[in-house]
Amino acid sequence: MKRLWIGLAALLLAAVPAFASTVIGMSVEDHARLSKHVVLGTIVSQIGIDDPEMGIETAVTIKVKHDFKQLAKAGELLTFHIRSGEFEGVISTAVGEAVLQTGRPALVFIEDIDGKLYNIGLSSGVWNVLEDKKGGMSFTRALQDGLEVVGDTFEMGPISFAGLQGRINASIRKPEFDNPMLRDARVEN
């Protein structure tokens, strides 16, 4: 799976100018297929780290309210990484990466890369949480400036809580990718 992403990333990065980041536009189902966790929760901390292989990142801890893939339990603390951060006064920014607010709710699609958790697709894998007056929840993508999305299987939302759960359940029942670029890359590996 790692070779799939490295190859796709190299292809996409070669095609865009340096002032933007590019991700493959994926359906909610494809995001879920690639995710270990799909977590609704509250961001409780963000700590800048200097990873020997990846450079400066932020370790983000989220208190789980609901894991749509039912792997993490409510109340559990889960730490994932984003590809931007500040460490000992040095700032590293991945254009188009998610901007999370400590103390605020978020919905995050989280993948496992060699045993380390990351949000998928920079800010394309992070969703804002909207609550109506009756307590009903819906989600919209929290895309950041500078993120270019390639492909036509991408949507911004809003998606209701029940709608999101249904689509994630469907992705588990049907593991084939919707996006032809992902489907073709999976066949080659």
Map out the domains of the chain with their CATH numbers.
Answer: 2-176 (2.40.50.120)
Q: Cα–Cα distances in Å, from 1 out to 41, 81, 159, 178, 187?
A: 27, 19, 28, 17, 11
pLDDT at 76: 98
Average pLDDT of the chain to the nearest whole number: 89
In the predicted model, what is the mean pLDDT of residues 109-114? Answer: 96
pLDDT at 152: 74
Calpha distance 150→41 (Å, rounded) = 28
| Per-residue pLDDT at 4 | 46
Gap between the Cα atoms of 11 and 64, Å rounded: 35
> Is the predicted pLDDT of residue 160 greater than 70, yes or no?
yes
Q: What is the pLDDT of residues 20-33, one digit of tens each?
A: 899 988 999 999 99
